[in-house]
Structure 1
Amino acid sequence: MTASVSTPPSTKSKQLGVIFVFTAGVLWSTVGLGIRLIEDATVWQILLYRSVSMSLFLYVVIRLRSGESPFAQLRRVGFPAVVAGFSLVAAYSGGIFAIQATSVANAMLLFATAPFFAAVLGWIVLREPVRLATWIAIAVAVGGIAIMVADKSGSIALIGSLAALGSSFGFAVFTVALRWGRTGEMLPSVFLSGLFAIAITLSICAYLDLPLLLSPRDGGIAMGMGVFQVGAGLILYTLGSRTLPAAELALLSLAEVLLGPFWVWFILGETVSANTLFGGIVLLVSIVGNALSGKRRKPPPITAP
């Protein structure tokens, strides 16, 4: 291995990166509002419509961006792309159910635990070291989660909270699968997850005898989420993440967590319980503390074969 010289990103590139990643967080933060505005559709119907529009959108974007089919990119990644795709289907399903079953604030805050799950999974599966500061942050986060679910015993909201944690675990598996496949390119695996979701949700809808035709309102919102909330958000995040360190990405991603509850409060008047508020503050402190502690570390040297 020999050291290679890399040109640091310019100030303008970093500023654009901040704008892109923050805008991605704003788009992702609308997921709770979108699901709240849907009147009749179930988890599987929403996921079906959202996956169809997302897959079509990402196919076009990947072709225009790379000049090749996303299937060619997926063949290069191989089995890790399959794992990443299935893990995202689980994450999507758990996320939609969680928002339908519990408050948006509760769900969004629990979604934010994904980096901690990823750290532990990376340590177990890939033998990646975990910093002491991250272990401390994980312990603090567990305390915050315990406070958040303490007042939900025996209720559907508790099931929703567990689904939110399951969703964040799915996103963590997706993250580790990308590192396992040695690729930082998310879009092809997300495209594959859309195809998997279409096949799975069609089967589930047929088994449960759920209608495939939704009302124009529900279908339009679900398909709009696939293009703008998921697809466009991922593209902006992919572009912005190339010029920003991981710690800044973690801090900017909190826009999604903080704005998600704001939209449903401002537009629909949805409030949160005291336990969710206090537990969420503890959880946010752990996330910010872990990100800030990472900023003080020197980045690893850039090497090339």
Structure 2
Amino acid sequence: MTSRQTALYGAFLALAAGTVFSFGSLTVRVSPSLDAVQYLLWRSFGLLPLVLIVALLQGKSPLRQMVAGGWLGLGGAVCMTVMADLFIFAMKTTTIANALLFSSAAPLIGAILARLILKERILIFTWLGIVIGIGGLLIMTWGELGSGNAIGNLAAFGVGFAYGLYSIIARVGRDRDMSGVVMGWAVITIITCSLFMLATGSSFATPMVENLAAMLHGAAFIGGGMYLLNTAARHVGAGRLVLLAQTETILGPVWVLLFFAEVPRLTTIIGGAVLLAGVLLSAFARSDAPEDETEVAARASV
């Protein structure tokens, strides 16, 4: 493939990753009895067996995959765990609108970190896409901002930072097997959630149907989305990677509308359309790709 085709392929994978992630809104919707920590626990119980099965089918040792990732793999697993835990904390302590908006800083943070750490030259269309995307999220959350808890808002910003940092780790580790990141994430989440539930006296005896829904989220939507996201990281820059995966935010309300007839607000629809415009601009606009990124894409296609 040419460098242009490789870049488009990477963009498609990132878009697909966000799309797969977005189906989690359905399993969350059908699990009303599970609190946030219980849901995270059972979601990880669904993710872990999938990772083990895939590794064994590939003839690889799951433990060796974790070791192969080295410090980068461990850092990636910690980033993903922190991101999930902080987002749940933000959803519990501030408004949903604030949680979404502050965590949406991820593409901007990813782009800035890519520039500072990786010396990646961020394309003008990526910057424009980020600005348009943040504008879309502002519209989506308009009227609900300002009433949230300050600590919860800070936690939501931490979500964006952890996601942006993970995009950097995925880019740095694009030439090594990063499969162990997902397994490490599942293991760390299971341990931390279990300890938290034991400390707070939360029940492990939750409805089986809802547990299975959360496990489906982990096995199908998180597992599939992470595979696509990690593959996409080999072909697109960090800021663009996270921006393109914002299809999760766009499509989540769509699935709830189609399956549960929950009509979103007009501002959600308009904001989602604006956000989609920013994502598509970054994905398909013709631009002068930086030389180092083009060379990486070309090598990956060989």
TM-score of the aligned structures, taking structure 2 as reference length = 0.76
Aligned residue in 2 for 1:32:
25
SS at match of 1:212: coil
Q: How far did 1:122 drift?
A: 1.4
Q: How far did 1:167 drift?
A: 3.5
Change over 3 Å in CA distance of 1:250–1:166 after alignment to 2: closer
Q: What amino acid is aligned across from residue 116 of structure 2 in structure 1? A: I
Aligned 1:209-220 pairs, distance under 5 A: 209-220=201-212
Aligned residue in 2 for 1:48:
41
Q: What amino acid is aligned across from residue 167 of structure 2 in structure 1? A: T
SS at match of 1:130: coil
Distance in 1 (CA, whole Å) between partners of 2:131 and 2:12 is 32
8 Å contact from structure 1 (residues 89, 196) kept in 2: yes
Q: Is residue 188 from structure 1 mapped to residue 142 from structure 2 by the alignment?
A: no
Q: C-alpha offsets along residues 175-195 of structure 1, whole Å, 9 cap, x if unaligned?
A: 111223454644311111111
Aligned residue in 2 for 1:58:
51
Aligned 1:83-102 pairs, distance under 5 A: 83-95=75-87
8 Å contact from structure 2 (residues 66, 179) kept in 1: no
8 Å contact from structure 1 (residues 112, 257) kept in 2: no
Distance in 1 (CA, whole Å) between partners of 2:123 and 2:13 is 28
TM-score of the aligned structures, taking structure 1 as reference length = 0.75
Aligned residue in 2 for 1:285:
277
Q: What amino acid is aligned across from residue 183 of structure 2 in structure 1? A: F
8 Å contact from structure 1 (residues 62, 188) kept in 2: no
Q: What amino acid is aligned across from residue 36 of structure 1 in structure 2? A: R
Distance in 1 (CA, whole Å) between partners of 2:281 and 2:17 is 22
8 Å contact from structure 1 (residues 35, 96) kept in 2: no
Q: What amino acid is aligned across from residue 291 of structure 1 in structure 2? A: A
Change over 3 Å in CA distance of 1:165–1:276 after alignment to 2: farther
Q: Which one of 287, 291, 294 corresponds to residue 300 of structure 1?
A: 294
Q: Is residue 75 from structure 1 mapped to residue 63 from structure 2 by the alignment?
A: no
Aligned residue in 2 for 1:263:
255
Aligned residue in 2 for 1:172:
164
Aligned residue in 1 for 2:132:
140
SS at match of 1:300: helix
Q: How far did 1:25 drift?
A: 4.8
8 Å contact from structure 2 (residues 65, 179) kept in 1: no
- Provide the identity percentage: 27
Q: Which runs of 5+ in 1 are unaligned?
A: 1-6
8 Å contact from structure 2 (residues 170, 230) kept in 1: no
Q: How far did 1:72 drift?
A: 1.8
Q: Which one of 143, 149, 152 corresponds to residue 151 of structure 1?
A: 143
Q: How far did 1:156 drift?
A: 5.8
Q: How far did 1:73 drift?
A: 2.7
Aligned residue in 2 for 1:3:
none
Count residues in correspondence.
Answer: 292
Distance in 2 (CA, whole Å) between partners of 1:263 and 1:212 is 29
Q: Is the deviation greater in 113-122 or in 33-42?
A: 113-122
Q: How far did 1:252 drift?
A: 7.6
Q: How far did 1:150 drift?
A: 3.5
Q: How far did 1:147 drift?
A: 3.3
8 Å contact from structure 1 (residues 84, 177) kept in 2: yes
Q: Name the Cα RMSD after superposition.
A: 4.1
Q: What amino acid is aligned across from residue 57 of structure 1 in structure 2? A: L
Q: Which runs of 5+ in 2 are unaligned?
A: none
Distance in 2 (CA, whole Å) between partners of 1:160 and 1:261 is 22
Q: How far did 1:50 drift?
A: 0.9
Q: C-alpha offsets along residues 198-254 of structure 1, whole Å, 9 cap, x if unaligned?
A: 111111111221111211122111112111121234346667x59x95499889856
8 Å contact from structure 1 (residues 108, 260) kept in 2: no
Distance in 1 (CA, whole Å) between partners of 2:110 and 2:268 is 23
Distance in 1 (CA, whole Å) between partners of 2:150 and 2:142 is 9
Distance in 2 (CA, whole Å) between partners of 1:33 and 1:80 is 32
8 Å contact from structure 1 (residues 28, 233) kept in 2: yes
Aligned residue in 2 for 1:4:
none
Change over 3 Å in CA distance of 1:268–1:107 after alignment to 2: farther
Q: What amino acid is aligned across from residue 30 of structure 1 in structure 2? A: F
